[in-house]
């Protein structure tokens, strides 16, 4: 494990150069990796592991859309695709990739099959960090580990197919066998991580919940709405407002940030844009810093977790969720976005 220095702070990281795929395969050569859940993270991790030569099976509810999706992806009923209980029984490493709410519901079914020496793997620290709220308390004689890709399962798979890797964090909550570290790092390499950085279950979920509600999704949508509204109120067309708010950011500027950093993106914009961005960034920082402090405190108190548990467990949650997503989808801004995307030139 290498130590990298980030502005005076050292972090433990694992790269594919120091921990090649062949080493990961050797460590897990006798393991059966059971992917439980085939929704958001399951397909990407299962397919990447399978393509990398690991022994992977999928556990999913029979005759469900996700069961059918697993079949379309090449998993064979009775060979590499099983009902959840059977997959957990067969697996030596259980990748528990159901949604947080589904993990809570399925836990009484899963727990009896978590026998001595197995590993229970998460890609989110929610269930363990808030175990008093979720009831997910693992047996003491199994490893409990985490690899959390910093992106969706779809992105993990797409980048794998492009020969790239999505960075992931890793953590060990419980090392019952003495081999938890080897297991978790090998799995992180196996799913196609770019590099792995060390964290804890608690830090993973605190940063994840803050990020999702903040710059990754919640805050960015709120900022989009605010700027788009101001432009429209001041007479700009939907096309102009959308292009200046979303399209230029996602299609032109963010790829530059991803390539070489924010300073490099600034350096590749006009001097007028640079000056304005530098003048206004602190105003936006100072305006939003109190909101982020409130958000992190809410996460740390467990309020965000409880809200998720309470809302996601409601029988009509999916109906209400679809109504909220439809409100986004049907808003003028995102209808303008649909039109703008349709006008992008096709790749030659």
Task: Give the catalytic positions in this structure.
Answer: 124
The secondary element (H helix, E strand) that includes residue 197 is: strand 193-198
How many CB atoms sit inside 10 A of residue 137's CB? 12
Structure tokens at 142: 């199994």
Distance in angstroms (rounded) separating the CA atoms of residues 217 and 99:
18
Q: Which residue has the tokens 């000056």?
A: 275
Phi-psi group of 63: left, alpha or beta (phi > 0 → left; psi -120 to 50 → alpha; rest → beta): left
Per the DSSP assignment, residues forming a β-bridge with 57 are 34
Q: Number of helices and strands (H, E) in the chain?
A: 19, 10
Rounded to the nearest angstrom, the gap between the alpha carbon of residue 102 and the centroid of all alpha carbons in its chain is 16
Distance in angstroms (rounded) separating the CA atoms of residues 129 and 264:
38
The secondary element (H helix, E strand) that includes residue 284 is: helix 271-300
Q: CB burial class (10 A; 0-12, 13-18, 19+) of residue 239?
A: middle
> Which of helix, strand or coil describes residue 192?
coil
> Which of helix, strand or coil describes residue 69?
helix
> Which of helix, strand or coil describes residue 167?
strand
Of residues 110, 116, 292, the one with CA closest to residue 206: 292
Please say whether the beta carbons of 67 and 56 come within 8 A: no
């Amino acid at each position: 494990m290498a130590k990298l220095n980030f502005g005076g702070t050292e972090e433990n990281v694992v790269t594919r150069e120091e921990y090649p795929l062949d080493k990961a395969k050797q460590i897990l050569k006798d393991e059966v990796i059971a992917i439980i859940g085939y929704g958001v993270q399951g397909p990407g991790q299962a397919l990447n592991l399978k393509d990398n030569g690991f022994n992977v099976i999928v556990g999913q509810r029979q005759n469900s859309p996700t069961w059918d999706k697993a079949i379309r992806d090449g998993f064979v009923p009775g060979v590499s695709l099983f009902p959840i209980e059977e997959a957990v029984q067969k697996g030596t490493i259980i990748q528990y990739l159901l949604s947080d709410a589904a993990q809570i519901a399925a836990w009484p079914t899963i727990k009896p099959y978590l026998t001595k020496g197995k590993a229970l793997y998460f890609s989110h620290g929610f269930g363990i960090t808030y175990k008093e709220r979720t009831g997910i308390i693992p047996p003491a004689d199994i490893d409990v580990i985490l690899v959390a890709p910093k992106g969706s399962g779809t992105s993990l798979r797409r980048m794998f197919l492009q020969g790239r890797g999505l960075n992931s964090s890793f953590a060990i909550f419980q090392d019952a066998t003495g081999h938890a570290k080897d297991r978790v790092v090998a799995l992180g390499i196996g799913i196609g991580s770019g590099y792995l950085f060390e964290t804890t279950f608690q830090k993973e979920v605190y940063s994840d919940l803050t990020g999702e509600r903040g710059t990754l999704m919640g805050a960015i949508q709120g900022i989009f709405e605010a700027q788009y509204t101001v432009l429209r109120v001041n007479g700009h067309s939907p096309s102009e407002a959308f292009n200046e708010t979303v399209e230029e950011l996602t299609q032109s500027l963010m790829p530059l940030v991803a390539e070489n950093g924010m300073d490099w993106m600034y350096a590749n914009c006009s001097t007028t844009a640079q000056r304005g961005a530098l003048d206004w960034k602190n105003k936006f920082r100072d305006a939003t810093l109190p909101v982020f402090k409130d958000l992190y405190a809410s996460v740390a108190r467990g309020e965000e977790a409880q809200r998720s548990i309470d809302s996601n467990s409601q029988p009509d949650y999916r109906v209400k969720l679809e109504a909220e997503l439809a409100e986004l989808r049907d808003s003028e801004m995102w209808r303008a976005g649909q039109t703008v995307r349709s006008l992008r030139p096709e790749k030659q």
